[in-house]
Amino acid sequence: MVKPNTQLLFVPLDERPCNYQFPYLLAQGTELEMERPPLEWMGQKKIPGDTTRLWAWLEERAATADGAIIAMDTLLYGGIVPSRLHGMSSEQVRDRANRLRRLKQLYPQLTLYAFQLIMRCPQYSLADEEPDYYADWGREIFRKGFIEHRQELAIATAEELLELADINGRLPIEILEDYLGRRRVNLEANQLTLELVAEGVIDFMIIPQDDSAPYGYTAKDQQQLRGRISELGLDLKVYMYPGADEVGCTLLARWVNRMNHVVPLVYPRLSALQGAFVVPLFEDRYFYETLKYQIIAAGGLIASSAAEADLILLANTPGDTMAEASSQQHAMTGYDVQRNLVELVEYGAYMQHYANKNVAIADVAYANGADLKLLRLLKQKGLLFKLAGYAGWNTSSNTLGTVIAQSMLYVRYGPTKEHLDFLGLRYAEDACYCAVVRTAMNNGIVEQMGFNKFMLDGPRGSVAAVIRGRLEQALDEYVNGPEGCVEIMDCYMPWNRTFEVGLTVRHYAEERE
């Protein structure tokens, strides 16, 4: 059993709530004492975190800690976005990575879990999270890598080769050199970290893929690292699968399960026969293959039957192809015909009420937001605040990692106040913001206010105030009822854009004390 006052250090991937806040909130309902660096050291989007202070903090706190969950991209570059912008040399990166080796030598009691991304290569021209030149040349950079990879495999079409020749004639050499030079440094950093796992410095590691195109620069880097993982015999210690911003939660669940010497058995039940074979948006493989990784990464295994399971995971999948949550008001055959959402909800209610099973929901029917039809059914059945976990945000893997972590902690700690508050946060953010309010804001309201979705009037400006009001209305419609309500305590826009929202909420019974 995890001893009381167990000290767990946490170095987040960046300062956004999904990375800085979610794992911390989940840890509050446990006997762990999770400590993280001050928010002001974590940087701000393209501004890197203070790596000098972050390293000093980690090295100082490690003396009395039992374990640490660390984002290597934060310790090496200052965060996820700075990892795509830095001008560091291979030697500078190596020097920073080597500090981890010294740390483990000094404090061998420290159980180290790490995660590190492979540098992504978006398919579009947008500089919001990339170098400034990506606004003009992003698609060309991606297409060059994509076609060259296919050319190496002798599967490039004649049209693609013509496109490549055109790109080579237009893409400035200094831009390409800057981009590829940074990729080389980052790939070397990935390889360095694998060496640390091989030496036993890092006990377990995840390499999440937040860009999963089948061909291109990122795909080739993934191939190289997969080969290196096998060469070093690290397949059981280094997992590589789609994801990114949920990994802090996943590693928290793994840490708790490992320290308690338990392996939760999870029985997945899907809303669609073909749901297992859907390739989610932004990912590169069948849903069910990633689901397996997400469960074992958190320290569990898939159960062979519901009877033996510690947890029933209801996966609300598409029936064929996945769409964006913002499009769900338009009826699509795959959602209305090729899945059975009613059966999924009835099964969950039965397993919870009659079989006394813990039931959680991975709402992966849509990308970037919840399925509002599901929310209505859950509210009608009175299930919203009886679940072991719920998530429905961003990518399928972001959702899976979050709900699996929350529900595994629920299996051990039960319906704590912290658990109910986190459920309320998921309904407020994943359903009411991502699927309702953000869609409305992006469909004209932000522009009418004189801004655009990539540049608002500050984290707590007039746009944030409008969003808060609309969120309260959406909560009343989709969530609040006799079994519980969600109150918004704070609402802000962390990166001064509409894509993500920062919320503090609390769950309360409808009749206040």
Per-residue pLDDT, 481 = 95
Q: How far apart are CA 52 and CA 184, in angstroms?
A: 23
DSSP assignment of 211-279:
---SSSHHHHHHHHHHHHHHHTT-TTTEEEEE-STTHHHHHHHHHHHHHTT---EEEEEESSTTGGG--
Distances from the Cα of 371 to the Cαs of 51, 162, 316, 327, 439, in angstroms? 39, 42, 8, 10, 13
- pTM as predicted: 0.96
Instruction: Determine the distance from the C-alpha atom of residue 397 to the mean position of all C-alpha atoms in its chain, rounded to a whole number.
Output: 6
| Secondary structure class of 420 (helix, strand, coil) | helix
Q: How far apart are CA 47 and CA 55, in angstroms?
A: 17
User: Is the CATH number of domain 6-122+176-258 3.40.50?
Assistant: yes
Residue tagged 């989610």 (tokens): 280
Cα distances from 23 to residues 9, 252, 355, 406, 495, in angstroms, run 11, 7, 30, 9, 19
pLDDT at 513: 44
pLDDT tens-place string over residues 447-484: 999 999 999 999 999 999 999 999 999 999 999 999 99
Q: What's the confidence (pLDDT) of residue 5?
A: 78
Each residue's pLDDT tens digit, 246-297: 999 999 999 999 999 999 999 999 999 999 999 999 998 999 999 999 999 9
**Closest alpha carbon to 267 in 174, 155, 360:** 360
The DSSP secondary structure of 434-462, one letter per residue, reads: IIIIHHHIIIIIHHHTT-BTTB-S-TTSH
CATH 3.40.50 fits domain 262-415: yes
Are the C-beta atoms of 358 and 310 separated by less than 8 Å?
yes
User: Which are the contacts of 145, defined by CB distance < 8 A and separation ≥ 6?
Assistant: 121, 215, 216, 217, 218, 220
* Cβ(53)–Cβ(41) below 8 Å: yes
At 210 the pLDDT is: 83
How far from the centroid of its chain's Cα atoms is residue 461's Cα? Answer: 27
In the chain, where does the domain assigned CATH 3.40.50 lie?
A: 6-122+176-258, 262-415
In which residue ranges of the chain is pLDDT below 50? 512-513
Q: Hey, is 54 helix, strand or coil?
A: helix
- Do the beta carbons of residue 43 and residue 14 sit within 8 Å? yes
| Residue 499 near residue 439, CB atoms below 8 Å | no
* 3-state secondary structure (DSSP) of residue 81: coil
Take residue 209 and report the two structure tokens written for it. 């893929």
